[in-house]
Amino acid sequence: MKLEAVDYQSPTAAQDFVESLRQTGFGVLKNHPISQDVVSSIYTNWEAFFNSEDKHAFYYNKGSQDGFFPQAVSEVAKGFKKKDIKEYYHYYPWGQCPANLKEEIDAYYCDTLTLASQLLNWIEAYSPDNVSAHYKEPLSNMIKESEQTLLRVLHYPPLSGDEEPDAIRAAAHEDINLITILPAANEPGLQVKAKDGSWLDVPSDFGNLIVNIGDMLQEASGNYFPSTTHRVINPEGTDVTKARISLPLFLHPRPDVVLSERYTAESYLQERLKELGVI
Ligand SMILES: O=C(O)CCC(=O)C(=O)O
Ligand SMILES: [Fe+2]
């Protein structure tokens, strides 16, 4: 298994990208339309937010899940006992957001949503007929006017040395949604699990855009596209003093979207959130 960045401008980009998703669950894009300056600025501005006490005024709403999740309520990945060493903010266009950060994050959300829609069209175009026959509606349609698509700003603080043994920044997990779009973070650490069980570093060159399959697309494609396990490992050496910021956009279908004979998007999500212990 190899993860190579696909040039978004190349004439074979769509095909190469979908092939990478099929083989590894991940696709890495370079030369894509998302502005690196905007991503950098979001990292800087949100790091300042996480380092200020203001964040506590934006404590998350239990029902709607928008807002700030402190480390004390952070996720416990499925099958794990220790909480991840992270805090995060769930941004939805309709949800709470600090006024000084709203315009920038909202523009990023909209631009990345547009790109996601195109990438779902690529995935649909290169799904074999017997796979796309399972899609109950076009994939890009599933996220249209969805209020569930979630932009998560993650802050992994510098390690203090007091962490619980075995706790890591993000324990091995699969994403729940259709696809995830993740700009390379400001520090390395993201790894994917290869078919032979080994862990591979995701090429984290600043400027790359990482896309991965989530469980909902695995379900909707009858397992053709694999929702690949990934994790974020702790830094070592002098890097322990560095915080890490990342910005995954989780593309979620509207709740009424039928994923398969077994699940709608809503029933699937409820089941998974209960397992995570966040509802
Ligand atoms: O921080 C990262 O690079 C990945 C985060 C992640 O996998 C997640 O929040 O689901
Ligand atoms: Fe993830």
Q: Residue 79: pLDDT band by 50, 70, 90 thresholds?
A: confident
In a domain, 4, yes or no: no
Instruction: Find all residues with CB under 8 Å of 76, minimum gap 6, and list them.
Output: 82, 83, 84, 171, 276, 277
Mutational test site, ligand 1, from 74, 83, 182, max ligand atoms within 8 Å of CB: 182
Q: What is the DSSP letter of 265?
A: H
Ligand 1, atom nearest to 88 Cα: 9
Tokens of 213: 């399959």
Mutational test site, ligand 1, from 246, 247, 251, 272, max ligand atoms within 8 Å of CB: 246
In a domain, 12, yes or no: no
The set of protein residues with a Cβ atom below 6 angstroms from ligand 1 is 152, 154, 170, 175, 182, 185, 190, 230, 232, 246, 248
Instruction: List, for residues 17-52, the tens digit of each pLDDT value.
Output: 999 999 999 999 999 999 999 999 999 999 999 999
Mean pLDDT, residues 90-95: 98
In a domain, 24, yes or no: no
Instruction: List, for residues 143-170, the tens digit of each pLDDT value.
Output: 999 999 999 999 999 998 888 888 899 9
- The radius of gyration of the chain from alpha carbons, rounded to an integer in Å, stands at 18
**CA dihedral for 89, 95, 99, 102, sign (positive or negative):** positive
Instruction: List, for residues 226-246, the tens digit of each pLDDT value.
Output: 999 999 999 998 889 999 999
Can you give the pLDDT at residue 1? 60
Choice between 103 and 79, residue whose per-residue pLDDT is larger: 103
How many structural domains are present in the chain? Answer: 1
In a domain, 10, yes or no: no
Ligand 1, atom nearest to 246 Cα: 1
Can you give the pLDDT at residue 84? 87
Q: Which ligand is nearest to the CA of 152?
A: 1
Mean pLDDT, residues 169-196: 93
In a domain, 100, yes or no: yes
Ligand 1, atom nearest to 250 Cα: 10
Can you give the pLDDT at residue 28? 95
Q: Which ligand is nearest to the CA of 204?
A: 1
Distance 53 CA to ligand 2 centre (A): 27
Mean pLDDT, residues 105-134: 97
User: Mean pLDDT for the chain?
Assistant: 93
| 3-class DSSP assignment, residue 6 | strand
Distance 182 CA to ligand 2 centre (A): 9
Element of type H or E holding 180: strand 179-183
Of 97-106, 202-211, 252-261, the one with minimum mean pLDDT is 202-211
In our burial notation (b when 16+ CB lie closer than 10 A, e otherwise), range 114-138 reads ebbbebbebbbebbeeebbebbeee
Q: Residue 185: pLDDT band by 50, 70, 90 thresholds?
A: confident
In our burial notation (b when 16+ CB lie closer than 10 A, e otherwise), range 83-104 reads bbbbbbbbbbeebbbbeebeee
Range of the domain at 196: 33-276
Q: Residue 276: pLDDT band by 50, 70, 90 thresholds?
A: confident
Distance 130 CA to ligand 1 centre (A): 31
In a domain, 175, yes or no: yes
Place of tokens 């699990």: 193
CATH number, domain of 90, equals: 2.60.120.330
In a domain, 14, yes or no: no
* ipTM for the whole predicted complex goes beyond 0.95: yes
Ligand 1, atom nearest to 169 Cα: 1
Distance 174 CA to ligand 2 centre (A): 6
Question: What is the number of other CB atoms lying within 10 angstroms of the CB of residue 189?
Answer: 20
Choice between 249 and 204, residue whose per-residue pLDDT is larger: 249
Instruction: Tally the C-alpha atoms within 13 A of residue 219's C-alpha that lie toward its C-beta.
Output: 23
In a domain, 20, yes or no: no
